[in-house]
Amino acid sequence: MSSVWLPCGDYHQNYVEDQGWWQSKFIKGKMILLLAIVFIGIPSLAVSPEGEYWVSVATMVGYTAMGALGVQLLIGFAGLLTLGHAAFIAVGAYTSTMLVLQFPWPQFIVDWGLAYPISIVAAGVAAGLWSVLFGLPSARVKGFYLILTTMGAQFITVDFVLTQYVSQIGGRGQAFSLPPGTIKIGPWVIESDVQIYYVMAVLLTLMVIVLANLIRSKPGRAWVAIRDNDIAAEALGINIVWYKLLSFFVAGFMAGVAGSFWVCNTAALSPEHFPWFLSLWLVGVILIGGVGSIQGAIFGSIFMVVIMELLQMAAIPIADYYPQVLFSFAYIKDMAFGLAICAFLIYEPNGLAYRWWQAKNYFNLWPFSY
Amino acid sequence: MVQVGELKEGDTILKLEDVHMSFGKVAALAGISLEVKKGEIHSIIGPNGAGKTVMMNCINGLYKPQRGSIYYKGQRINSLRPYRRAELGISRTFQKLELFGGMSVLDNIRLGRHIHLKSGIVSGSIYVGKTRHEELESRKFIEEEIIDLLEIESIRDQTAHMLPYGLQKRVELGRALALNPELLLLDEPLAGLNLEEVEDMARFILDINEEKRWKVTCILVEHDMGVVMDISHRVNVLNFGNQIMDGPPEEVQANPEVVKAYLGEEDLYSTRR
């Protein structure tokens, strides 16, 4: 028996097969199909303006998913409740922007288009370390109290440090804008929706791979153990404080990468892009997608972003009759978010990932019930 | 303080010296001294509230005794955190199950290998290469040494909290063994098991104590007198934080004070035989 469903008569003969990533031909085919859709299918929509719009929606899904993966790591795997993730995305975005705009790069790095890729890694590290700083209270407090300390990260970082000081650098007041052509990866200048989409797709794929690998190796197991039972975890040789901080670092790193991706998406940057509501939003995303699963973060992002887009599309014809709808659309959006979370917590607390798992099982066994 | 590398059978592996631990005014341990010899099954018995579990927690590091010293292989370990003690080779099971409920049985046991694995976040996130090799090695160890020994092949992919109680106890023992410990603290491993499961568990304890592969020294806290008297080499009797008696099982059974404090007036074996 294996941890994944195998066709009748198909057995693993050795540990390599049993611990493999894609354990059957069917799964392998499915995953390759998924990658093909992500890397070829969706970008090829962009031939029409309508299609290009949906590509940018997919980019938003990816950005949300990048943020949500970090939250998933903290809440879903390590059991550390966080409500300040937007702060670390912001740190990443600002680090990346400052590096690209202000850092005296040697000319050859600019010519070869390495400044932005380097800044992505630097943003990850900076956000990761910043996140560790605010993860320190987790050595002492857990659960509800940790929510408050991570919220502190949000207010200190975004509302104080970034708004009051970092945003003022260069005398521009609030917003930074990146002149066209500054964001260059190798020979490509990232401008069009499709190029931005590709940056997102590559980064998101890497993140999913990294997180999935971590979960099935030593650090990931230690996180899950701390989530499930911290006393037993410590008795079995896990340095709890170290692994908690490590999870804050990795989650912060992911947030930093997401933040520096955001820079290439908008080409402008303001603290208003990272409100406390974004932190809450990301937690909502993983609640809806399913806490404790990587697919959950992705499903949640797809659901939330696409639902919001559909709402927006529905609002336009309705506005012909009730113009008020357009003016107060922001509130309708918030309401839909609240409603979705309530509905999921009551009717499907395990999230979309669980539903997906059930559906897969049903079809694996079909036409028999067990 | 001497760090002894390899202990011979019969050397002192763990030594408690005048250990005091009280919660408020309740003295859970009032000056306990005892020595555990390598290779023994050392049982600790006593009525409820005698301080048995508190003593286990002190040895393991979950509690810090207020006075007294704990020596493991000649090294004073009072100030070490529990995870450091686990790295030294002290492993344990819990009275109330403390499994990682959301993980599969295999992952629970894999987690017990934690101190033997070396990958960090970088090699872990790349996975191919070092981590993959290490995971396969550890899997081989788990399958061949632990799952085979404890006869839990059929449940290895099930979620831990879905299992029946007896199997969960067995998985917990497997997880503790995965550390490859030298000293194993067993806190009521037989509580709540039916007769067949008790016999299995006693067999496993004897196996890991006697088999050449393991040779684990066990400290056993247990209420099942039949098993305790049959498998232990040495028995300590506690009552209200005080040690009443220390000796081989036959002497303990014959001691009138022990019988009065704990075993009751009736025949000792009547509960189980």
Continuous segment of H or E residues that includes residue B257: helix B256-258
Instruction: Kindly state the helix (H) or strand (E) to which residue B246 belongs, with its residue range.
Output: strand B242-247
A12 touches chain B (CB under 8 A): no
Interface membership of B114 toward A (CB under 8 Å): yes
Determine which of A75, A214, A218, A250 to mutate to test the interface with B (most B C-beta atoms within 10 Å). Answer: A218
pLDDT of residue B112: 93
The reply to whether residue B136 touches residue A238, judged by beta carbons under 8 angstroms, is no
Please indicate whether, in this complex, the C-beta atoms of B99 and A229 are within 8 angstroms of each other. Answer: yes
For residue A222, list chain B residues with Cβ-Cβ distance below 8 A.
111, 114
Tokens of B227: 């098993």
Nearest to A213 among B91, B114, B127 (CB): B127
Residues of A113-137 as b/e, b for ≥16 C-beta within 10 angstroms?
bbbbbebbebbbbbbbbbbbebbeb
Residue A1 confidence (pLDDT): 39
Q: Which residue of A has its CA nearest to B134?
A: A217
Among partner residues B60, B111, B131, which is closest to A225 by beta-carbon distance?
Answer: B111
By CA distance, what is A76's nearest residue in B?
B102
What is the H or E stretch that residue B185 is in? strand B183-187
Structure tokens at B264: 């009751």
Chain B touched by A65 (CB under 8 Å): no
Question: Which pLDDT score, from 0 to 100, does residue A42 have?
Answer: 93
Quote the crossing angle between the two packed helices B105-112 and B165-178, to the nearest 10°.
30
Rounded Cα distance between A66 and B211, Å, is 51
Residue with tokens 């932005």: A116
> What DSSP assignment string belongs to B106-150?
HHHHHHHTGGG----HHHHHH-TTHHHHHHHHHHHHIIIIIIHHH
A230 at interface of B, judged by CB pairs closer than 8 A: no
To the nearest whole angstrom, how far is the Cα of B273 from the nearest Cα of chain A?
Answer: 35
Helix (H, G, I), strand (E, B) or coil at B66: coil
Average pLDDT over residues B92-104: 90
For residue B184, what are the β-bridge partners? B91, B218
Question: Are the Cβ atoms of B103 and A210 closer than 8 angstroms?
Answer: no
Nearest to A220 by CA among B106, B125, B138: B125
Q: How far is B237 from chain A (nearest CA, A)?
A: 25
The separation between CA B206 and the C-alpha centre of its own chain, rounded to angstroms, equals 13
**Edge to edge, what strands does the sheet with B183-187 contain?**
B90-92, B183-187, B217-221, B41-45, B234-239, B242-247
Token pair for residue A155? 């207010």
For A154, the token pair is 């949000």
Q: In this complex, which of A229, A235, A249 lies closest to B86 when CB atoms are compared?
A: A235
**Cα–Cα distance for residue pair A7/B107, rounded to 1 Å:** 23
Q: Catalogue all structural domains in chain B, each as residue range(s) with its CATH number.
A: 1-89+182-200+217-273 (3.40.50.300), 105-180 (no CATH)
List pLDDT tens digits, range B57-95: 999 999 999 999 999 999 999 999 999 999 999 999 998
Chain A CB contacts of B111 under 8 Å are 221-222, 225, 233, 236, 238
What totals of helices (H) and strands (E) does chain B contain, helices first?
11, 10
Rounded Cα gap, residues B141 and B179, in angstroms: 11
Question: Using only C-alpha atoms, what is the Rg of chain A?
Answer: 22
Nearest CB partner across the interface for B125, out of A214, A229, A232: A214
Residues with Cβ within 8 Å of B15's Cβ and at least 6 positions away in sequence, in order, are B34, B35, B36, B69, B70, B71
- B197 SS3 class: helix
Interface A-B, measured as beta-carbon pairs within 8 A, has a size of 122
Distance from CA of A23 to the nearest CA of B (A): 15
Q: Which of A227, A236, A250 shows the shortest C-beta gap to B86?
A: A236
CATH fold of the domain at A25-273: ABC transporter involved in vitamin B12 uptake, BtuC (1.10.3470)
Nearest chain A Cα distance for residue B272, angstroms: 31
Residue-wise pLDDT for B149-196, tens only, equals 999 999 988 999 999 999 999 999 999 999 999 999 999 999 889 999
Instruction: Say whether residue A229 is in contact with chain B using an 8 A CB cutoff.
Output: yes
Can you tell me the distance from the alpha carbon of A150 to that of A4, in angstroms, rounded to the nearest whole number? Answer: 36
Question: Taking CA atoms, what residue in B is nearest to A208?
Answer: B125
Q: What does the alpha-carbon distance between residue A325 and residue B224 come to, in Å, rounded to a whole number?
A: 72
pLDDT tens digit at each of 370 positions of chain A? 356 777 777 788 888 888 888 888 888 999 999 999 999 999 999 888 889 999 999 999 999 999 999 999 999 999 999 999 999 999 999 999 999 888 888 888 888 889 999 999 999 999 999 999 999 998 888 888 999 999 999 999 998 998 888 888 766 666 788 888 888 888 888 888 999 999 999 999 999 999 999 999 999 999 999 999 999 999 999 999 999 999 999 999 999 999 999 998 888 888 889 999 999 999 999 999 999 999 999 999 999 999 888 988 888 888 888 888 777 888 888 888 999 999 999 999 999 999 998 888 888 888 877 6
The answer on pLDDT for B28 being more than 80 is yes
Q: Tell if the CB–CB gap between B100 and A15 is shorter than 8 Å.
A: no
| Residue spans per domain, chain A | 25-273
The distance of Cα A97 from the centroid of its chain, to the nearest Å, equals 19
CA distance, residue A129 to nearest chain B CA (Å): 14
At CA A159, angle to CA A156 and CA A164, rounded to 5?
105
Q: pLDDT band for position B1 (50/70/90)?
A: very low
Q: Tens of pLDDT along B234-247?
A: 999 988 888 888 89
For the stretch B116-132, pLDDT in tens is 999 888 999 999 889 99
Within an 8 Å CB–CB cutoff, is residue B99 touching chain A? Answer: yes
On chain B, the residues whose CB falls within 8 A of the CB of A15 are 136, 139-140, 143
B141 at A interface, C-beta within 8 A: no
Q: Check: CB of residue B177 under 8 Å from CB of residue B197.
A: no
3 state SS for chain A: CCCCCCCCCCCCCCHHHHCCCCCCHHHHHHHHHHHHHHHHHCHHHHHCHHHHHHHHHHHHHHHHHHHHHHHHHHHHHCCCCCCCHHHHHHHHHHHHHHHHHHCCCCHHHHHCCCHHHHHHHHHHHHHHHHHHHHHHHHHCCCCHHHHHHHHHHHHHHHHHHHHHHHHHHHHCCCCEECCCCCCEECCEECCCHHHHHHHHHHHHHHHHHHHHHHHCCHHHHHHHHHHHCHHHHHHCCCCHHHHHHHHHHHHHHHHHHHHHHHHHHHCEECHHHCCHHHHHHHHHHHHHHCCCCHHHHHHHHHHHHHHHHHHHHHHHHHHCCCCHHHHCHHHHHHHHHHHHHHHHHHHCCCHHHHHHHHHHHHHHHCCCCC
Bridge-based pairing state of the strands A268-269 and A176-177: antiparallel
More confident residue, B2 or A247: A247
- Residue B20 has what pLDDT? 93
Angle between helices A329-347 and A276-289 (to 10 degrees): 40
Query: Do A224 and B107 lie within an 8 Å CB cutoff?
Result: yes
Q: How far is CA A139 from the centre of its chain?
A: 25
Residue B225 has pLDDT above 90, yes or no: no
Q: Which of B101, B106, B114 sits opposite A236 (nearest CB)?
A: B114
Give dist(CA B174, CA B168) in Å, integer: 10
